[in-house]
Each structure stands twice: as structure tokens, then as C-alpha cells.
Amino acid sequence: MSLADRLLQAWYADHPALVLLRPLETLYRHVVRRKRAQFLSGAKASYRAPVPVVVVGNVTVGGTGKTPMILWLIERCRQQGLRVGVVSRGYGAKPPTLPWRVEAQQTAAQAGDEPLLIVQRTGVPLMIDPDRGRAVKALLAAEPLDLILSDDGLQHYRLARDLELVLIDATRGLGNRRCLPAGPLREPVERLQTADALLYNGAASDSEPGFAFQLLPSALVNLCTGERRSLNHFPVGQALHAVAGIGNPQRFFDTLQALDWQPLAHPFADHAQFSPQALDFSPSLPLVMTEKDAVKCRAFAQPDWWYLAVDAQPSPAFSAWFDAQLQRLL
């Protein structure tokens, strides 16, 4: 088990040894609060785009379902007749220049796994750059757009935003509610009070703090052929290798079990780079991975390798709320 995995376990179990990290947590809290205050006061400048900017992010380390939610938001905006673009940091990407326009035929090494997935799924105009403001400027120079979605970037205050959507894992919650490195929080808990909406991934229903949304599997897609098969393609009890290099791999494995399959779990680090050797498992069984991992494995995929297509389904209340926000902003 890696150090990162051990820390995640400790944060969500509130291991008593974490008390030793509280002096560093105090320093971290001071730094992030001061940074936010400087941008809010105008002491540091933020770029204000000429179109509305919606930030989709989280306050915790680890996966909360941001990419499926971005995909849902893109479709929802298009249903309203809006021309939408996306900006992303492009974690792990190594493009020739920055900012970089992501195209569907590029590699994950060049474009980043999540940006490439979004473009391949939707064809949306998408620009990557750690400087989100610069990415927005480049995107608007290239495309006539009505609205920008910022994939992550809740803590990137150099880009002004008109709406903040914060995603939280309903099962894991906020862990021990402490900031890095003594806990999983990127910002103190009170930061949630300033967000426009909280969305709880896996919650059964809306609650007082926020809206519920689910990640629902929709199909199996073959990596070699692109063929889509229904979720009954594998029989009940099918044993298979399950690969997940995401922020919370267990959620993926639990989804496969809920489909009545028997996954042999192979968790990898978030944004892991794969090779044929790393995925050469025994015994010989079908292999199912996440869509985010699939964009990095198509070049060497085997005939019985599949990814599980997953779609976000927010509650009707959130859908109505978001539609109202679009009307307000535009």
C-alpha cells in the first residue's frame, strides 16, 4: 500500500497518530485562508471572463465524480441552446505549449486523461492550462462561447467565477474534517458555506445541506472496437479483472459488484500510466476498467477489454435549480 493510500485510510478513520500533523495543518489553514482573502479583497487580481464561468470542484482530496458531472452539465447547457466550453488544469498532461487545445485524436500523455475523455465523449471545445484564466482567454479567442465550465479549480482564485458547484462523496463525507496534511480537506469546512451548491455523490435523496446525484452505469464499451454492449453482456457471477486508476477505486469495484459480477480488484493511483505488462493478469478473464483509464489503454488493448460507461444523474431539484441559474446568468 502506498503512502497516499495509507494517508487516505488514516484521514477517513481519524487515526490518532494524525495529531502529530496538526501544527502543519495550522500553517496550511493560515496559508489557504490568506490566499482566498487576498483575492476576495482585490489585493490579488482575478481574471473576469466576458461570459459566465461555472466552477465544478471539491474541497477534499480524492475522487468525487467531477468528470461525469461535467459531462452532464455540458449536455444540460446544450439542451438550453448554449455554446459551452471547458477549461482544465490538465493534470499529468505534457503538451508542446500552453494553453493547449485538446482534440479527440490526441494521446492522454499529451492532453491528460480527464480532458481527453471529455472531448472524446462530447466534442466540446476544451483548453488545458494550469493558469485557468489564460485557458479561458485562449478558448474564447478560438470559439464563440456563451458559458465556460471549469473542471476543478475551486481553489484557483485567479479565475473569477459566477457559480461554484462543490461535489462531496456521500459515503466518505469529509473524513475527519481536518485540512491537509492532518486530513483530506483542501480548505476548511466553513468554505462550503460560500459555495452556491453542494452535490452529494451517492446520496439517496436531497437533504438540507445540498443536492443528491448518482453515478449510473449505462453500457460496456469495447476498447478495441468501440462496440457498446448492454449491462447483461456478462452473466450473473461473471469473474473479471477490474482496473481503476481514479481517486476512489473502491467505488468502481462496488459498482461492478452491484451489477452481480465478481471483480478481482486491481486499484492503481489516480491518473496512473498503464502498460501492457501492468495489466497482464492471471487467470485469463475479461477486463473491465473505468472510462478515464480506457483513454490511456486503447493502443495496446486486448479483444476482451471493456470500460464501463457511467453517467451522472442529479436529482430533479438540482436540474431545476441549475436551469434557473443559467437563466439568471445569461
Same domain, 185 and 283: no
Query: How does DSSP classify residue 235?
Result: P
242 and 130, same domain (yes or no): no
Confidence class of residue 8 from pLDDT cuts 50, 70 and 90?
confident
Residue 291 has φ and ψ, to the nearest 5°, of -65, -35
Over the stretch 120-169, which tens digit does the pLDDT of each residue have? 999 999 999 999 999 999 999 999 999 999 999 999 999 999 999 999 99
Asked whether residue 246 falls in the same domain as residue 194, the answer is: no
Comparison of pLDDT for 6 and 46, the residue scoring more: 46
Residues 172 and 229 reside in one and the same domain = no
Q: What is the pLDDT of residues 175-225, one digit of tens each?
A: 999 999 999 999 999 999 999 999 999 999 999 889 999 999 999 999 999
Q: Percent of the chain at pLDDT above 90?
A: 93
pLDDT band at 1 (very low <50, low <70, confident <90, very high): low
41 lies in the same domain as 165:
yes
Summary mean pLDDT of the chain: 96
The alpha helices in the chain, defined as continuous H runs, are: 3-13, 22-41, 66-79, 108-111, 113-122, 132-142, 249-258, 291-294, 316-329
Q: Residue 251 belongs to what domain range?
A: 215-313
Per-residue pLDDT reduced to its tens digit, 279-325: 999 999 999 999 999 999 999 999 999 999 999 999 999 999 999 99
pLDDT digits (tens, 9 = 90+) for 10-30: 999 999 999 999 999 999 999
Give me the pLDDT at residue 105, please.
Answer: 96
- 227 and 205 fall within a common domain: no
Same domain, 51 and 192: yes
Average pLDDT over residues 231-259: 95
* Helix, strand, coil % over all residues of the chain, rounded to 5: 35, 25, 40
pLDDT at 2 over 80: no
Q: Exposed e or buried b for every residue in 45-71, given b needs 16+ CB within 10 A?
A: eeeebebbbbbbbbbbbbbbbbbbbbb
Tell me: do 254 and 185 sit in the same domain. Answer: no
> Are 35 and 154 contained in the same domain?
yes
Do 70 and 139 fall within a single domain? Answer: yes
Cα separation, 279 vs 266, whole angstroms: 9
pTM of the model: 0.94
**Structural domain total, the chain:** 2
Q: What is the CATH number of the domain that holds 12?
A: 3.40.50.300
